[in-house]
Amino acid sequence: MKNRRSFEELELAVSKIISDFSPGIHLSRFNERTAEIDTIHLYQPGDRRLDAKATARTRMPMYRTFNPEKALTLFLAMDISASQLHGLAEENKLELGVQAAFFLAKAAANANDRIGLIAFDNEIRYFSEPKHDEEEIANYLRMIFERQTEARPGTNLEKTLEKLLSWEPRNALVALISDFCLPVEQETLNLLRQIANQENTTLLSIITTSSQEMPLSLPFSAEISDSEAEGKSLNWNFHSPKEALAYQNSVAIWREKLTADLRRAGSEAVFLDINQDNPLMNLVRYFLNTETA
């Protein structure tokens, strides 16, 4: 059995991913939607945004400069409730969420974008208004990572989304990181839609999952209470191949419905399964795909 990773090991793993896929991994797709390109020029010290098409065309390293008044702001909204502690012996969903948040924050910082953070369970526990301060965000993520045994039950998405709306995001990427283990209420979808409709704002929902865990919206988990979802493992023990197949089909239906609900609310959905090798790669692929879309 693998040992649990330290926060330093998580930082190194994410930094290696950024390095391995750089300059393909950054949030420029959203900047290109929300910001105005000022110039494309040969590399100069300090440049961070490679223009892949111009580089391929000229066979020289060509970089982009954006209008700073239209720079991107990354808003991270992290679910740190007790349900996020479920997972594997070597890593749980909360740690996977921290890894995803650190990946996005690192990519944003590399592009000199502002970063804000809200971490929540039934209440908002930590928040940092958007600013150019990668170190502050890293410190918050370290605190979340190291204090996970203090996780509380309950998830109040509505209060968190209302706080995000109070910041009036514009020219922004809003990343909501949660396991969505409870059914998504209509009020939540309405708030998500309001965020997605903000000026030049992209909403991305990152769903941390475990393929060995059953979300409460599955048909055979309806009798489990919300408090149980936040307080103990919901791993499913199969007694027959038929049960295993029923579970797989139900999970597929759950994912399809959640994805459809989120998309109707204006949000893209990316699933990260802790049981997969390199679960963060789904998020990496999402940004690689949208870079070339």
Q: What is the pLDDT of residue 166?
A: 93
Q: Residue written as tokens 């594997």?
A: 88
140-150: average pLDDT: 93
122-141: average pLDDT: 94
* Confidence check: pLDDT of 97 > 60: yes
- DSSP letter at 13 equals H
Q: How confident is the model at residue 136 (pLDDT cuts 50, 70, 90)?
A: very high
* Confidence check: pLDDT of 219 > 50: no
148-155: average pLDDT: 89
**215: nearest Cα among 260, 183, 261, 248:** 183
Write the pLDDT tens digit of every residue in 224-281: 444 445 544 455 555 677 777 777 788 888 899 999 999 999 999 999 998 888 889 9
Q: How confident is the model at residue 1 (pLDDT cuts 50, 70, 90)?
A: very low
Contact, 97 vs 104, CB < 8 A? no
Contact, 61 vs 43, CB < 8 A? yes
Q: Residue written as tokens 């990519």?
A: 107
113-125: average pLDDT: 95
Alpha carbon distance 120, 78 (integer Å): 6
Q: What is the pLDDT of residue 38?
A: 59
Q: How confident is the model at residue 140 (pLDDT cuts 50, 70, 90)?
A: very high
| pLDDT over 70 percentage in the chain | 73
Q: What is the pLDDT of residue 2?
A: 58
Q: What is the pLDDT of residue 124?
A: 96
pTM exceeds 0.85 for this model: no
202-226: average pLDDT: 65
* Confidence check: pLDDT of 216 > 60: no
Sign of CA dihedral 25, 287, 265, 186: negative
**198: nearest Cα among 170, 219, 224:** 170
Comparing 126-130, 190-194, 213-217, the range with the smallest average pLDDT is 213-217
Comparing 109-123, 161-175, 244-258, the range with the smallest average pLDDT is 244-258
Phi, psi of 235, rounded to the nearest 5 degrees: -65, 140
Where do the domains of the chain lie, and which CATH numbers do they carry? 7-21+71-291 (3.40.50.410), 36-66 (no CATH)
Write the pLDDT tens digit of every residue in 50-82: 666 777 778 777 766 655 545 789 999 999 999
Write the pLDDT tens digit of every residue in 190-200: 999 999 999 88
Collapsed DSSP state (helix, strand, coil) of residue 144: helix
Q: Tokens at residue 285, please?
A: 């692929």
Alpha carbon distance 259, 271 (integer Å): 9
